[in-house]
Amino acid sequence: MTLRYDEIGKRLKAFRMASGMNADEIAQRIGISRTALYRFEKGELAKIETLEKLSELLNVSMPTLLGVGIEYMPSAVAYFERTRQLEETAEHLLVLAGPISFLLASFQFEGMLDTVLRESIPEDAPNRQRSLDDVNQIMDILHQRKESYRKRRPSIVNLISTTQIERFLQNGMAGRQNLPASVAAQRREMARQEVEHFVNLIEGDEIGVQIGLVSDTLPHNGFQIFRNAQGSTLTLSPFRLGEQPNIRVGVAMATSAPEALTLHQNIVNDAWRTAMKGPAAAAFLKKKLQTLSSLAPVSTRKRA
């Protein structure tokens, strides 16, 4: 087995960011300089003893750190950072992460996301301040992902569950239930605008973007497949953005195992075969928006 130290470095950075410790603290605790730690993160060869110390300190197994088998990520920060790293070199993305795929979402979605993620953290949540601090890192990572996508424009196949879209329109872009009525109405309007944005994407027929609406059952946890000339990587994640967000609970995974890739590619193939696409997908979303508008109280409907 050939170890790729550049990939080890990327994983090391993701777990370091998720640890809550700064680089100086980590370097001091394992007896190296901060400069050496940064060099390891950039792919410089590290002694196995040093990797073992880092593995123990960061509470990550050596197989995960080395990329042997499956990477396990119990932190949303680590997951989104690994996603950013994989997207940096991906030429093609297969995405099932509903109801809204972040890379294709509007500027307004990204602008509101910080508020939504913060309100998703209960007042009595254990280590609440740590979770709030994580939001800062997550938003920074997400912004970097969006900027990288706009510059590189890898092709995307995005599968969206119609059930999740309907729930998104009903509940709005909200981090929790029981928001004040006026706020809840604003969040439903934001959800409606985001679905309109996806209608425009579909009707715009943008090169490299394919969106399919799936009425059949899809896995609850999202997954993505990243492809480039060197191979493919699959990630599975319970972490969600937008509607019913979750950045606190769960374990994400990443693997390049051929069997896992094939099985999830089969899910994509089967779902894409029956998905609504193009004009049919746009018409479906427009009908949902019209139905929502007709059911909304007059005071909350968009005025001309």
What letter would DSSP give residue 157? E
d(CA 110, CA 142): 8
CATH 1.10.260.40 matches 5-68? yes
The superfamily (CATH) of domain 73-300 is Endonuclease Chain A (3.30.870.10)
Q: Quickly count: other Cβ atoms within 10 Å of residue 200's Cβ.
A: 12
Looking at residue 3, its pLDDT comes to 66
Looking at residue 37, its pLDDT comes to 92
pLDDT at 293 > cutoff 80: no
d(CA 205, CA 282): 11
Evaluate whether 34 touches 27 at the Cβ level (below 8 Å).
Answer: yes
Looking at residue 294, its pLDDT comes to 65
* Strand residues in 172-281 grouped as ranges (E): 209-214, 222-228, 231-237, 252-255, 276-277
- Give the residue-averaged pLDDT of 179-205: 94
d(CA 67, CA 101): 26
In terms of phi and psi (left: phi > 0; alpha: psi -120 to 50; beta: otherwise), the region of 194 is alpha
| Span of 54-68, 185-199, 244-258 with lowest mean pLDDT | 54-68
Q: Is residue 2 very low, low, confident or very high in pLDDT (cuts 50, 70, 90)?
A: low
pLDDT tens digit string along 65-102? 887 778 999 999 999 999 999 999 999 999 987 788 89
> What does the buried/exposed string (b/e) look like for 141-164 if buried means 16 or more CB atoms within 10 Å of the residue's CB?
bbeebbebbeeeebebbbbbbbeb
> What does the buried/exposed string (b/e) look like for 232-269 if buried means 16 or more CB atoms within 10 Å of the residue's CB?
bbbbbbbbbbbbbbebbebebbbbbeeebbeebeeebe
Global pTM reads 0.84
Evaluate whether 92 touches 149 at the Cβ level (below 8 Å).
Answer: no
Q: Quickly count: other Cβ atoms within 10 Å of residue 82's Cβ.
A: 25
pLDDT tens digit string along 29-44? 999 999 999 998 988 8
| Span of 3-12, 19-28, 110-119, 265-274 with lowest mean pLDDT | 3-12
Q: Name residue 158's beta-bridge partners.
A: 95, 211
Looking at residue 69, its pLDDT comes to 75
d(CA 84, CA 131): 20
Looking at residue 304, its pLDDT comes to 38
Q: Name residue 210's beta-bridge partners.
A: 157
- Phi and psi at residue 151, to the nearest 5°: -80, -40
In which element (H, E) is residue 96 found? strand 92-96
Looking at residue 68, its pLDDT comes to 76
Looking at residue 60, its pLDDT comes to 87
d(CA 250, CA 17): 17
pLDDT tens digit string along 139-168? 999 999 999 999 999 999 999 999 989 999
Q: Where are the domains of the chain?
A: 5-68, 73-300
Contacts 24+ apart (CB under 8 A), 256-262: 256/67, 256/231, 256/232, 257/69, 257/70, 260/234, 261/225, 261/232, 261/234
Who contacts 187 (Cβ-Cβ below 8 Å, separation ≥6)?
Answer: 171, 172, 173, 174, 179
- Phi and psi at residue 35, to the nearest 5°: -60, -40
pLDDT at 1 > cutoff 60: no
Looking at residue 279, its pLDDT comes to 95
Q: Of all residues in the chain, what percent carry a pLDDT higher than 90?
A: 67
Distances (CA, A) of 263 to 17, 38, 213, 224, 267: 31, 37, 20, 12, 7
Looking at residue 194, its pLDDT comes to 94
